Structure 1
């Protein structure tokens, strides 16, 4: 299985394969049709508390990454998502964050590949 990461606000492409939104909140101002999401895996996203600590309270990336990896290690949504994606040759994890390097989708991809 090949994973790609993409902002949900970017135009969908046939190369995206199976498109999975991995944010807990639906992206502001985006219709379901425009998002072209095949699956919304909100339970695999960071908890509300962790998301707020990172985006609103100024938690640094390294602390966030360690905390989210710890959440992923015990989150039953991760093996459920892995199972749902089995057999899909190409999967694109969609996220809403502006920062393409420091976002939880990369960490989730790592967990799904384990």
Structure 2
């Protein structure tokens, strides 16, 4: 992908309980667990990247407790630094074929969730 296109890549974050929209582009579920009450059709996903979600142990430890947010971000970024995860993220960026990417998550907390961390990591990776 030419450098100019990479710089303009847009990565959005959206709850699984919000309706899909055409401007979402390539929609990717980034949870380990499927969101309750949502069908495949409702989510309109390009892929389910469950392996990019935080590990089960990290997810359970965090429990969406805002006081653990800073530590959660550090631990999750450490998990995403693994070469296997880097390759998964590069594949996700390639799969989007230059379309906007919308990271879909199920958490109620819109400010403290893995999709926000992943959005930042992917944004930096797409600029490389």
Provide TM-score, normalisation by structure 2: 0.81
CA-to-aligned-CA distance 1:89-110 (integer Å, 9 cap, x gap): 2110000111111111111111
| Mapping for residues 23-62 of structure 1, pairs under 5 Å | 23-55=31-63, 60-62=68-70
RMSD after superposition: 1.8
Select the structure of larger CA radius of gyration: 2
Cα contact 2:79–2:85 (8 A) shared by 1? no
> Which one of 100, 104, 115 corresponds to residue 94 of structure 1?
104
Give the length in aligned residue pairs: 114
User: C-alpha displacement at 1:42, in angstroms?
Assistant: 0.4
Long gaps (5+) in structure 1: none
Cα distance in 2 between the residues matched to 1:91 and 1:21: 11
Cα contact 1:78–1:111 (8 A) shared by 2? no
Long gaps (5+) in structure 2: 1-8
Cα distance in 2 between the residues matched to 1:57 and 1:32: 29
Provide TM-score, normalisation by structure 1: 0.90
